[in-house]
A and B are shown apart, each in its own frame.
Chain A
Amino acid sequence: MRGGKFLTSVVAPVIALAISFLIASVVLRLVDIDPLTAYQEMWTFGTTTESLISMVNRAVPLFVSALAVGIGFKMGLFNIGVEGAYLLAALVAAYIGALYSIPAVLHVLSILLIAMVVGAAWNGIAGWLKVKRGVHEVISTIMLNFIAFSLSAYLFLNYFQEDTGGLIVATALIPETGWLPSFNPVLGWFGIEPRVGSELHGFLLIAIVLGVLYHYLVNRSRFGYDLRASGINAPAARASGVNPKRMIMTTMLISGGIAGLVGMSTLLGFSHRYVQDFPTGLGFTGIAVALLGRNNPVGMAFGALLFGFLDRSSLILDLKDVPREIVTIFQGVVVLAVVIVYEVISRLVQRQTVAAAAKATVEETEAVAS
Chain B
Amino acid sequence: MAQESAIHLSGVTKRYPGVVANKDVEFDVGVGEVHAVVGENGAGKSTLMKIIYGMVRPDEGIIRIRGKEVHFRSPKDAIDAGIGMVHQHFMLADNFTVLENIILGSEPMNGVQIDFQTASDRIKELGEKYGLRLDPGTRVETLSVGERQRVEIIKVLYRGAQILILDEPTAVLVPQEVDDLFDSIRELKAEGETVIFISHKLDEVLTIADSITVMRAGETVGTTTPDQIDAGQLAEMMIGSELPTPETRTSTVQDEVVLEVVELSLQSEDDRDLLSDISFTIHKGEIVGIAGVEGNGQAPLVDSLVGLEATATGEVHLAGEDVTNDEAKDRRAAGIGLIPEDRQRQGLLLPSPLWENAALGHQNGPPYAKGPWIDKKGARAQTEEIIRRFAVKAPGPDVPATALSGGNQQKLVVGREVMANPKVLIAAQPTRGIDIGAQAAVWEELKAARQAGMGVLLISADLDELIGLSDTIHVLFEGELVAELDPAEVTPEILGSHMTGAKTEAES
> Taking beta carbons and an 8 Å cutoff, which residues of A are in contact with B?
1, 220-226, 228-229, 232-233, 235-243, 350, 353-354, 356-358, 360-362, 364-365
Contact = CB atoms under 8 A, between A and B. Distances in A.
Interface in B316-368: 327-333, 338, 340, 345-352, 356, 359-364
A364 B327 CA distance: 43
A240 B360 contact: yes
22 contacts: A221-B374, A222-B372, A223-B372, A225-B363, A232-B349, A233-B349, A236-B347, A238-B308, A238-B346, A239-B308, A240-B361, A241-B333, A241-B361, A241-B363, A243-B327, A350-B402, A356-B395, A357-B17, A358-B15, A358-B403, A362-B18, A362-B20
Contacts of A350: 351, 400, 402-403
Interface in B300-320: 306-308
Contacts of A361: 17-18, 393-395, 408
B399 to A, nearest CB: 5
B332 to A, nearest CB: 5
B505 to A, nearest CB: 32
A225 B359 contact: yes
Contacts of A220: 373-374
Contacts of A238: 308, 328, 346
A229 B364 CA distance: 13
B404 interface: yes
B19 interface: yes
Contacts of B404: 357
Nearest to B359: A225
B367 to A, nearest CB: 13
B350 to A, nearest CB: 7
Interface in B384-419: 393-395, 398-400, 402-404, 408
Contacts of A353: 399-400, 403
Contacts of B347: 236, 239
Interface in B445-493: none
Contact of B395 (A223, A232, A357, A365): A357
A353 B403 CA distance: 7
A222 B20 contact: no
Given A240-B362, A357-B18, 20 more contacts: A222-B364, A224-B374, A229-B356, A232-B350, A233-B349, A236-B348, A237-B360, A238-B308, A239-B308, A239-B361, A240-B363, A241-B328, A354-B403, A357-B394, A357-B399, A358-B18, A360-B395, A362-B18, A362-B19, A365-B19
A362 B361 contact: no
Contacts of B145: none
4 closest residue pairs by CB, A with B = A241-B329, A357-B403, A361-B393, A240-B361
A238 B350 CA distance: 15
A353 B369 CA distance: 27
Interface of B: 15-20, 306-308, 327-333, 338, 340, 345-352, 356, 359-364, 369, 372-374, 393-395, 398-400, 402-404, 408
Given A1-B398, A232-B352, A236-B348, A354 B374 contact: no
Contacts of A239: 306, 308, 328, 338, 340, 346-347, 361
Contacts of B361: 239-241
Nearest to A243: B327
Nearest to A364: B393
A76 to B, nearest CB: 13
B372 A221 contact: yes
B17 A354 contact: yes
Contacts of B329: 241-243
A357 to B, nearest CB: 4
A243 B329 CA distance: 8
B393 A233 contact: no
A192 to B, nearest CB: 38
Contact of B18 (A235, A241, A365): A365
Contacts of A358: 15-18, 403
Nearest to B307: A241
A223 B362 CA distance: 13
Contacts of B19: 362, 365
A79 B20 CA distance: 45
Nearest to B306: A239
Given A221-B374, A239-B328, A362 B340 contact: no
Contacts of A360: 395
A226 B402 CA distance: 19
A235 B302 CA distance: 14
A54 B331 CA distance: 54
Nearest to A349: B400
A350 B395 CA distance: 14
Nearest to B332: A241
B363 A226 contact: yes
A168 B69 CA distance: 80
Contact of B402 (A221, A222, A243, A354): A354
A225 B369 CA distance: 10
Contacts of A221: 372-374
Given A354-B403, A356-B395, A357-B403, A236 B16 contact: no
Q: Which of B306, B349, B369 has the most CB of A within 10 A?
A: B349
B379 to A, nearest CB: 10
A237 B308 CA distance: 11
A222 B369 contact: yes
B382 to A, nearest CB: 14
A240 B306 CA distance: 9
A132 B152 CA distance: 39
A356 B403 CA distance: 9
